[in-house]
Amino acid sequence: MTRKIDIFDTTLRDGEQSPGASMNTEEKLVVARQLLRLNVDVIEAGFPISSPGDFESVRRIAELAGDQAVVCGLTRAVEKDIDSAADALKYAKRPRIHTGLGVSPSHLRDKLRISEDECVERAVKCVKYAKKYVEDVQFYAEDAGRSDYNFLVRVIQAVVDAGATVVNIPDTTGYSLPEEFGQRIKYLVEGVNGIENVKIAVHCHNDLGMATALAMAGVKNGASQIECTINGLGERAGNTAMEEVVMAIKMHGDELDAHTDVNTREFCKASRLVSSITGMNVQANKAIVGANAFAHSSGIHQDGVLKKRDTYEIIDPADVGAGTSQIVLTARSGHAALKHRLEELGYELEGEALDQVYEAFLNLADKKKEVYDEDLESLVNERDRNESALYTLEGVQISCGFPLTPTATVTLKNAADQTVTACEYGTGPIDAMCKAVNKIVQVDNDLTEFAVQSVTRGIDALGEVTIRVTDPAGDIYTGRGADGDIVVSSTKAYLNALNRLLNDKQEKRG
Ligand SMILES: [Zn+2]
């Protein structure tokens, strides 16, 4: 049997830190359920001290996961952070505290302003402090990718002696080359006494497009945990993509002496879900989950694949859940059929929630006859977005064309259940609609990005709109909306972005 590599997902922590990708607690729970279906080993659910929302997310995901996965909370090497993480993880069956600090010359000198001795002392102190609360303590040596080899050995030796169960070696800035990073891991394996009793984790960023290669180099040299995210979401250029490392291990398990327990058939769905919730679209040529990942257009390639798939295709699309979209339901499908299909897709809806999705489904089925899995996912996500909304859309009417002046009339319902209508004109229908919405919502914002995508093929497909807005503080908020009419999806997306902005400001005010 090959070595088991633990998959540590940090979509909900590192991934969520990417600009415009923030998720609320309900959305994080939806993603967490999908992570459990993927059968990941560890879920890093958030950074509890950073906000009440993060605390609540960690608490609820800890309850949700039961004993199926380890649930982890991030902290700095600070006692009050660790207290807060321990509190959030109180009801976790398998809690882990993830604590640590910077170890590179740049972090010691310019960020922490401490000596090497002080760094070791703090590292030991935070691990021992976390150990008072939980048995499973993971230490991160931030910016290890740019640290001095011997100093890194010294820090890791100290935290292993202090009782750390996992040591995380991150290439925080995505600076390393794979071969060198592998050597670094090997140096630890050879230089730290007792390292065989703990797990070595790698956490690699994609600033040079090498996150996956770095993680693989780590595994090859002794790492037994990979930290990663769905779609490679994460700070800046992102984190290691889970679908990439897991499939690379699956393809090369023997030479790496490694395997994972991830259910790879859930990858495409996980990708769509995270993209839909965060509004971060996946490029068509993205490995494993991109729309073109299994598309062959050259005649020679097509001919080869038709004769035998593995002439040009190393992965069976079905293994990652790609290309399985089916016409599942029509307007004649009943409540029970919808509920059943949603359950197969992993959504458990009851009562009013199910009724709402059923109603939306009937509307859609009336218009486009054939409803695909992707359509259903989109309808469920649409309903979830409305759940925590301060403003909901009651109606939108647009007149535009040539030579008309584009005009929009928008009716919204506010949190106090009052209906408000506004009318505006603009340079185009979207401009007019945004102005009308702004007249009612009255919150300062700049629309910085606007994109339309169809959910499935066909001219009658649902149009999904992604909108990004920036507030005067520079914070970015993403909104999504889906509808058969793209003006309606645009209005929903804009409103979704503004609702997130308002919710966030409210949460920050406490
Ligand atoms: Zn990171």
Per the CB < 8 A criterion, the answer to whether 397 and 409 are in contact is yes
Q: How far is the CA of 146 from the centre of ligand 1 (A)?
A: 14
Q: How far is the CA of 207 from the centre of ligand 1 (A)?
A: 11
Q: How far is the CA of 71 from the centre of ligand 1 (A)?
A: 17
Residue type, 331: A
7: enclosing H helix or E strand: strand 6-9
Provide the token pair at 150: 């011997």
Q: How far is the CA of 76 from the centre of ligand 1 (A)?
A: 13
Q: How far is the CA of 497 from the centre of ligand 1 (A)?
A: 25
Per the CB < 8 A criterion, the answer to whether 433 and 494 are in contact is yes
d(CA 207, CA 17): 15
State the DSSP string of 65-104.
HTTSSEEEEE--S-HHHHHHHHHHTTT-SSEEEEEEEE-S
Q: How far is the CA of 387 from the centre of ligand 1 (A)?
A: 30
Q: Is 147 left (phi over 0), alpha (psi -120 to 50) or beta?
A: beta
Do β-strands 392-399 and 407-413 pair in parallel, antiparallel, or remain unpaired? antiparallel
Q: How far is the CA of 182 from the centre of ligand 1 (A)?
A: 18
d(CA 494, CA 486): 12
Centre a 10 Å sphere on the Cβ of residue 157 and count the other Cβ atoms it contains: 18
Phi, psi of 59 (to 5 degrees): -60, -45
Q: How far is the CA of 81 from the centre of ligand 1 (A)?
A: 18
Q: How far is the CA of 173 from the centre of ligand 1 (A)?
A: 8
Sequence-distant (≥ 6) Cβ neighbours of residue 359 within 8 angstroms: none
| Distance from chain centroid for Cα 98 | 19
Q: How far is the CA of 98 from the centre of ligand 1 (A)?
A: 13
d(CA 214, CA 175): 10
- Tell me, what's the pLDDT at 325? 55
3-state secondary structure of 465: strand
- Tell me, what's the pLDDT at 505? 84
The pTM (predicted TM-score) of the whole model is 0.87
Adjacent-strand bridge partners of 44: 72
Per the CB < 8 A criterion, the answer to whether 301 and 309 are in contact is no
Q: How far is the CA of 248 from the centre of ligand 1 (A)?
A: 21
Q: How far is the CA of 167 from the centre of ligand 1 (A)?
A: 15
> Distance of CA 500 to CAs 24, 229, 455, Å?
9, 22, 23
Q: How far is the CA of 214 from the centre of ligand 1 (A)?
A: 13
d(CA 458, CA 488): 18
Q: How far is the CA of 453 from the centre of ligand 1 (A)?
A: 29
- Which segments within 127-198 are labelled E, that is strand? 137-142, 166-171
d(CA 13, CA 62): 14
Q: How far is the CA of 245 from the centre of ligand 1 (A)?
A: 16
d(CA 381, CA 281): 15
Q: How far is the CA of 99 from the centre of ligand 1 (A)?
A: 13
Q: How far is the CA of 204 from the centre of ligand 1 (A)?
A: 7
Q: How far is the CA of 17 from the centre of ligand 1 (A)?
A: 9
3-state secondary structure of 499: helix
Q: How far is the CA of 205 from the centre of ligand 1 (A)?
A: 6
Q: What is the dihedral of CA 377, 392, 282, 464, to 10 degrees?
A: 70
Q: How far is the CA of 295 from the centre of ligand 1 (A)?
A: 32
Q: How far is the CA of 271 from the centre of ligand 1 (A)?
A: 19
> Distance of CA 243 to CAs 83, 231, 249, Å?
34, 7, 10
| Distance from chain centroid for Cα 487 | 27
Angle at 136 between CA 150 and CA 160, to 5 degrees: 20
Q: How far is the CA of 434 from the centre of ligand 1 (A)?
A: 35
Q: How far is the CA of 172 from the centre of ligand 1 (A)?
A: 6
Q: How far is the CA of 21 from the centre of ligand 1 (A)?
A: 14
State the DSSP string of 350-411.
-HHHHHHHHHHHHHHHHHHS-EEHHHHHHHHHHHHHHHT-SSEEEEEEEE--SSSPPEEEEE
Centre a 10 Å sphere on the Cβ of residue 404 and count the other Cβ atoms it contains: 10
- Tell me, what's the pLDDT at 232? 97
Q: How far is the CA of 307 from the centre of ligand 1 (A)?
A: 43
d(CA 446, CA 487): 19
Sequence-distant (≥ 6) Cβ neighbours of residue 274 within 8 angstroms: 11, 15, 31, 34, 230, 231, 233, 280
Angle at 323 between CA 44 and CA 458, to 5 degrees: 115
Q: How far is the CA of 234 from the centre of ligand 1 (A)?
A: 7
Q: How far is the CA of 203 from the centre of ligand 1 (A)?
A: 6
* Local structure of residue 109 (DSSP, 8 states): I
Phi, psi of 11 (to 5 degrees): -55, -40
Q: How far is the CA of 262 from the centre of ligand 1 (A)?
A: 21
Q: How far is the CA of 235 from the centre of ligand 1 (A)?
A: 6
How does pLDDT run along the chain (510 residues), one tens digit per residue? 999 999 999 999 999 988 888 888 888 999 999 999 999 999 999 999 998 989 999 999 999 999 999 999 999 999 999 999 999 999 999 999 999 999 999 999 999 999 999 999 999 999 999 999 999 999 999 999 999 999 999 999 999 999 999 999 999 999 999 999 999 999 999 999 999 999 999 999 999 999 999 999 999 999 999 999 999 999 999 999 999 999 999 999 999 999 999 999 999 999 989 998 888 889 989 999 998 888 766 677 777 777 777 777 788 888 998 865 566 788 888 888 888 888 877 788 889 999 999 999 998 888 877 788 888 888 888 887 777 789 999 999 999 999 889 999 999 999 889 999 999 999 999 999 999 999 999 999 999 999 998 887 788 888 889 999 999 998 888 888 888 899 999 999 999 999 989 988 887 776
Q: How far is the CA of 150 from the centre of ligand 1 (A)?
A: 23
Provide the token pair at 425: 């004109």
